A and B are shown apart, each in its own frame.
Chain A
Amino acid sequence: MARVGLEHIWKRYGDVVAVHDVTLEAKDEEFLVLVGPSGCGKSTTLRMVAGLDDISDGSISIGDRVVNDLSPKDRDIAMVFQSYALYPHMNVYDNMAFGLKLRKTPKPEIKRRVNEAGEILGITQLLDRKPKQLSGGQRQRVALGRAIVRNPAVFLMDEPLSNLDAKLRVQTRAEISKLHQRLKTTFIYVTHDQTEAMTMGDRIAVMKDGFLQQIDTPQVLYDYPVNTFVAGFIGSPAMNLVPGELKQTDGRLRVEGPGMVVPLPESLAAQARGKDSSKVFLGVRPEHIAPKSQYNGNAPNEMTATVEVVEHMGSKQFVYLGQAGATLTAEFPADAEARPEQEMQIVFDPDNLHLFDEASGNAIGHSRSAVA
């Protein structure tokens, strides 16, 4: 039973605030991902949970204990580092056994646990090797093994995949997810890669400049981003944010921008009422832009765009469209016809629009209003 709770956590280095009043909770057995660009405070937050950095203010609890003043070894946690941090002078077995030896675990028990972890990770044949004799992927497994044998209440992982090549990263990603399902322990995982966050996390906490932006399930973040930062950070390619002005005629709201008029569906208009004449960003994800010729529904908006670049992905294609001086990214089906310099009529799917206040960047509303 180990929930991890952060209550109003601050981290200050002199005048610099690295982590700004962060409150969040990783539930028991949950896979929580902290994601954000570099320097957003996610690693610092993780290190404060680990006890490697002091907290300037606030309180951290693991299970039922407040651990503010406990040293890392007394927090019942294990951590996997980006650099793996394997002890170069010890072989794989000793690397994994080190923590148990320090805790004076009986030898047969150490052996049993190391072998068990070795089997889970498929590294039993490597136990006699030194870290420098291992490939990056194998080192990564040993680092995981070192965490597993300790049987901790919480696993902390600091960008554990960023030193692996692309293919291995995808593979190891799935293995860590499997490991989580098998161990049924709380995981807190730090990454700057939104794909990793989306694919692995039960819930994701998005951070920026030391502030927690939003914490929720991957789907909710994707469908209901609370601000332009989350909207742009989650999802690849990023959501298009088109500047415009909110206008009202005959009780109907629309966004007017250069070369476009987009009437808002009633679901979104209801959330935006009273904000007319304000500057906004209209958010639309690439898959919600379609060529008019292929759009079956009834789209009351339509605009002219010029194809700039086409990226074929096999099952689909990403099309970069020039529209009134800005570039929109659209995801078209593979069979849609798009050539560079071609002019085409495009539509935004009215059921998947997002509206953000230009000044604050905060969300005004989403077409799909039914937040569960």
Chain B
Amino acid sequence: MSTDAISGTREQAPTQESVVGHGPRWYTRAPLHFVIVLISAIWLLPTITLLVTSVRGIQDISTSIWWTILWKPHEFTLTNYNTVLHAATSIGMGRAFLNSLAITIPATALPIVIGAGAAYGFAWLRFPFRNTIFLTLVGLQVIPLQMLLIPLLRLFNQWGIAGQYPSLWIAHTAFGLPLTIYIMRNFMSGIPFDLLEAARIDGANEWSIFTRVILPLSTPAIAAVAIFQFMWVWNDLLVALVFTAGSDNAPMPVVVRTLSGAYDQGWQLMTAAAFISMALPLIIFFALQRYFVAGLTAGSVKG
């Protein structure tokens, strides 16, 4: 009987969806929805824990589990945030936030500008060893970042830019380029060649084709790459720690880390600090999530 019910619904489903505009009866989709909600809940749990912990006092945190706040809302406090924002860290969170911006924005823009140009070349220009060079470049991703830190640090010391913003711009641009080029090149090869030829006949040179036809059409790929790179650089601790530790140019993750050192048992502060540093990426993600999804499929399906 249950088999009948299922097959019956299956046959009806397309008609209902396409003609009436209603989904199939709710109970056929219920298991699916249940699983999705469950996965989302598990996925969100650490973040929620972090959020709730950040608005509780250290006493409460150490004596009761976080969901106690549900029936004891008076425990709610913004002290942690207050403390973090005025913490006597080496440079202060305000400066750290500005540092993060000063590092992240150029370190996101540079790989996109360079990568888009390179991707156009790899996608559409004819030159010897084009594919070999492309594969080598993408293959370079297998070199672990950690191996390059010391040589880079020595190089930056020699150039006298260690601890300065440009050292991080250069490092992040170099680390980010292979993936950037890969994603954008795949997206751009999906653009019909006829468009380039039409533009050529309309009188466009390579530069106008790139800036006025290819780039506007590559917005989804650019946005996706921008989000990836922004998140990566914004949240990066390792590279920033190596190149800026102890300098006034350290970004938030480096500074947040010092909170627990500066204040014994200060990890309730770290939850608040983590949330402050997450705020911007969250806003950007929600603003651009349409492109984010489009960019995820950009490599596999023609855009």
Interface residues of A (CB under 8 A from B): 50-52, 71-73, 77-79, 81-83, 85-89, 98-99, 102-103, 146, 150
Contact = CB atoms under 8 A, between A and B. Distances in A.
Those 10 A-B pairs whose CB atoms lie nearest each other, nearest first: A99-B202, A85-B194, A73-B203, A85-B198, A102-B203, A89-B216, A72-B201, A79-B201, A83-B194, A72-B200
Nearest to A73: B203
Q: Is the interface of A mostly helix, strand, loop or mixed?
A: loop
B192 A52 contact: no
Contacts of A72: 197, 200-201
Contacts of B195: 85, 87-88
Contacts of A83: 192, 194
20 contacts: A50-B201, A71-B200, A72-B197, A73-B202, A73-B203, A73-B204, A73-B205, A77-B201, A78-B201, A79-B198, A83-B194, A85-B192, A85-B195, A85-B198, A87-B217, A88-B217, A98-B204, A102-B204, A103-B203, A150-B202
Contacts of A79: 197-198, 201
B242 interface: no
Given A81-B197, A85-B197, A99 B216 contact: no
A79 B208 CA distance: 18
Interface centre among A77, A99, A146 (most CB of B within 10 A): A99
Contacts of A81: 194, 197-198
B202 A146 contact: yes
A98 B202 contact: yes
A83 B197 CA distance: 12
Nearest to B195: A85
Nearest to A97: B202
A86 B197 CA distance: 11
A151 to B, nearest CB: 13
A146 B282 CA distance: 43
Nearest to A104: B203
A45 to B, nearest CB: 16
B213 interface: yes
A287 B160 CA distance: 90
B197 A52 contact: yes
A86 B216 CA distance: 14
Interface in B7-26: none
Q: Is the interface of B mostly helix, strand, loop or mixed?
A: helix
B91 interface: no
Nearest to A152: B201
Contacts of A82: 194
Contacts of A51: 201
Contacts of A78: 201
A132 to B, nearest CB: 12
Interface in B185-236: 192, 194-195, 197-205, 208, 212-213, 216-217
A146 B201 CA distance: 11
A87 B191 CA distance: 10
Given A81-B194, A85-B194, A98 B199 contact: yes
Contact of A89 (B192, B194, B198, B217): B217
A47 to B, nearest CB: 8
B203 A99 contact: yes
Nearest to B193: A85
Contact of B201 (A52, A87, A89): A52
Contacts of A85: 192, 194-195, 197-198
B217 to A, nearest CB: 6
Given A85-B192, A85-B195, A73 B216 contact: no
Interface centre among B195, B208, B216 (most CB of A within 10 A): B195
A89 B200 CA distance: 17
A98 B212 CA distance: 9
Nearest to B213: A87
A51 B197 CA distance: 10
A99 B216 CA distance: 17
Contacts of B205: 73
Contacts of B204: 73, 98, 102
A295 B69 CA distance: 104
Nearest to A150: B202
B217 A73 contact: no
Given A87-B213, A88-B217, A102-B208, A73 B200 contact: yes
A150 B203 CA distance: 10
Interface string B162-192: 0000000000000000000000000000001
Contacts of B212: 98
Contacts of A71: 200
A329 B194 CA distance: 41
Contacts of A73: 200-205
Contacts of B203: 73, 99, 102-103
Given A87-B198, A103-B203, 5 more contacts: A72-B201, A81-B194, A81-B198, A88-B195, A99-B201
A102 B201 contact: no
A52 B194 contact: no
B298 to A, nearest CB: 16
Interface centre among A78, A82, A102 (most CB of B within 10 A): A102
Given A81-B194, A83-B192, A89-B216, A52 B200 contact: yes
Nearest to A75: B201
A99 B208 CA distance: 11
